Structure 1
Amino acid sequence: MTVVITRDVPGRTRGFLASIMPEPAPGVYAAADLSKAVRERLWAVVADWHGATAQGSVVQGSVVMIWRDDKQPGGLGLATLGTPPRRLADLDGVLVSVW
C-alpha cells in the first residue's frame, strides 16, 4: 500500500497523482499495488515539480508519501517535501513521528 498526502500543492501535481492513484479524499491518494519503480518515479516527478514551485527561498505546500517497508521502523517508509520535514522513529516499540 502506498499513500500520498498533499497540502497546498499546484493543480498540476494533484492531476498527476490522480492519473496514477485514486483520490479517496481531497489531497489523499492511495494505491494498493504500486511497484517500487513506479513509486520512485512518481516521487522523482513530484519532488522536481515541488522544487520548481519555490518562490524565492520558500517552497509552497507539502507532500508526504508512506509505504510498506519492512526495513524501516514500524514497517513504514516515509518521504516528505515541504515543511515540516518528518521522519519515523521506533521509541521503545512505539512508532512516532519526529521533526
Structure 2
Amino acid sequence: MIIVITFAVKERYSGYFASCMNEVSTGVYVSTISPPPFREKLLDTINRWWEVYNEGSINVIWYDIQQPSKINFINYGEPKRELIPFQSLLLTKID
C-alpha cells in the first residue's frame, strides 16, 4: 500500500496522483498497488517535478518490510521529517 498526502501543491500533482491512485480525502491518495516499480516511478515523477515546482508539501508513505515498523516514507517540503528507530519504536524527527 502507498499513501500520498499533499498540501498546497500545484494542480499538476493532484491530476497525476488521481490518475494512478484513489483520492480518499482532499489531498490524500491511496493505492493498494505497491510493487517497487510502481513506487519508483511515482517517486521519480515527484522528484523531477519537485525540482521545478518546489512548493507546498508532499508525504509518501509505503509498506517496507526492511523497516522495524514495516513502513517507510519520504517528505518533500517543510517541515522536514525523518524516521528514527528508538528501542522497539519508530519516532518521527521534525526539523
Q: Report the TM-score, using the length of structure 1 for normalisation.
A: 0.87
Structure 2 counterpart of 1:39, one-letter code: R
- Cα shift at 1:65: 0.5
1:49 aligns with 2:44: no
- Cα shift at 1:92: 2.1
Name the counterpart of 2:24: 24
- Cα shift at 1:93: 1.5
- Cα shift at 1:48: 1.1
* Percentage of identical aligned residues: 32
Aligned length: 94
Q: Does the Cα contact within 8 Å between 1:3 and 1:66 map onto a contact in 2?
A: yes
1:7-22 correspondence to structure 2 within 5 Å:
7-22=7-22
Q: Report the TM-score, using the length of structure 2 for normalisation.
A: 0.90
Mark the runs of 5 or more structure 1 residues left unpaired by the alignment: 54-58
Q: Does the Cα contact within 8 Å between 1:7 and 1:27 map onto a contact in 2?
A: yes
Name the counterpart of 2:73: 78
CA distance in 1, matches of 2:92, 2:22: 26
SS, match of residue 30 in structure 2: strand
Runs of 4+ residues over 3 Å off in structure 1: none
Q: Could you say what the CA RMSD is over the residues aligned between the two structures, in angstroms? A: 1.2
Name the counterpart of 1:56: none
Mark the runs of 5 or more structure 2 residues left unpaired by the alignment: none
Q: Does the Cα contact within 8 Å between 1:7 and 1:62 map onto a contact in 2?
A: yes
